[in-house]
Each structure stands twice: as C-alpha cells, then as structure tokens.
Amino acid sequence: MNEEINTFTISIYTENNIGLLNRISAIFQRRHINIESLTTSQSEVENVNRFVIVVNITETQAIKIVKQFEKQIEVIRAYYHTDEETIYQESCMFKVKSELLFDEPQIQNRIKESNARIVTVNKAFFVIEKSGRRQEIELLHRELSVFGIMQFVRSGRIAITKDEMKVTEMLVAFNNQ
C-alpha cells in the first residue's frame, strides 16, 4: 500500500553555525525531495535559530528526515506538522509602473479586495505588499500580470503550531548550558 503524499512543515531549531544550511539541504537532496520553501530566522529564544521548510512527502519520510536532522550536532530539536496543525503565511511584493496606479482603477480595486497594501510610490513605480496563503498571492499575481509586473518576490512560509509546544522551555534550558 502506497502512503499518501502531503504537505509538511518541518521546523528545525538550531545553533547558528556556518555550513548547517548545506547539510540540511543535502539531507533532502540525498532523498530526492524538493524543498517547496525555506525560511530561517531567530526563534523565540536568543541564540537559537529556526528553519521552516515546506515539503511534499509521506509521513514516513517526514519521520525519517526529522530523525536525520536531530543527528546533526548543531540541531537542538526538529518537528514536522501538517497544514491543519499550523497557522502559516507567506509574504510577497510586486513592483508595478506608477502610471498604472492612476490609469487602471482595477488595480486599486484588486489591492483593496486582496487586503494588500501599497508600501511606496514614486514617479516610476509603486510597490504592493501582500501577506497570506500561497493561493491568495498566486491569484493576485495572475491578476496583476495582465497589467505588467516589473518585479515580484515571495517569501517562504512562516508558521507556528496551533497546539502549545513545550519547545521554548527546552530551548531556554539548552541555551543556558
């Protein structure tokens, strides 16, 4: 029986050491798993970083990968969660010619309807920022593409769990060693 492929958010709490990203990506590469998005930042605890990685794999693969991460010396703890177990968003920015903002009222309507916001305007261009689910961002991208997008960038997923996790206490204890 084949196991179902699902979207998993893998969180890895680490020390901030050079070369760790290469070793993390190598674990996926050896298993021929494509990373859909990757975000890294400081965690809720000083000197502890958090990688948030989105992959489409089976739960068995997720379990094996998390165990493999925890064998890395700099990794404090790793977890995997389904979309239903997390609250997540992405962010993006669009750069569009300024003349369109005034000549195309549909653009202003799309900005309002999509809960995006204009972050800067000058003579040559304006920049729109949108946070939300990937589908919302992709919809706005399709709608703005009709008018022409000068530049576009989207972040990786940021996510927190719906359930309380006792990870903070464990990270603080690790950090105080």
CATH number (3.40.50.2300, 3.20.20.70, 3.30.390.10, 3.30.70.260) of 6-86+158-175 reads: 3.30.70.260
**In the prediction, which pLDDT does 39 show?**
94
pTM of the shown model: 0.84
**In the prediction, which pLDDT does 100 show?**
87
**In the prediction, which pLDDT does 177 show?**
64
Structural domain spans, the chain: 6-86+158-175, 89-154
Measured CA to CA in angstroms, residue 99 lies from 37, 121, 129 at distances of 33, 10, 18
Cα 31 to Cα 37: distance, rounded to the nearest angstrom = 17
Query: Which tokens go with 31?
Result: 């298993």
89-154 has the same fold as 6-86+158-175: yes
Measured CA to CA in angstroms, residue 26 lies from 42, 52, 54, 86, 156 at distances of 22, 16, 15, 25, 19
One digit per residue, the tens of pLDDT, for the chain of length 177 reads: 678 999 999 999 998 888 888 989 999 999 999 999 999 999 888 888 999 999 999 999 999 999 999 988 889 999 999 999 999 999 999 999 999 888 888 898 999 999 999 999 999 999 999 999 999 999 999 999 999 999 999 999 999 999 877 776 666 666 666
* Beta-strand relationship, 6-14 and 151-154: unpaired
**In the prediction, which pLDDT does 176 show?**
67
Closest CA to 130 of 154, 98, 100: 154
**Homologous superfamily of the 89-154 domain (CATH):** ACT-like. Chain A, domain 2 (3.30.70.1150)
Find tokens 């969180």 and name the residue. Answer: 11
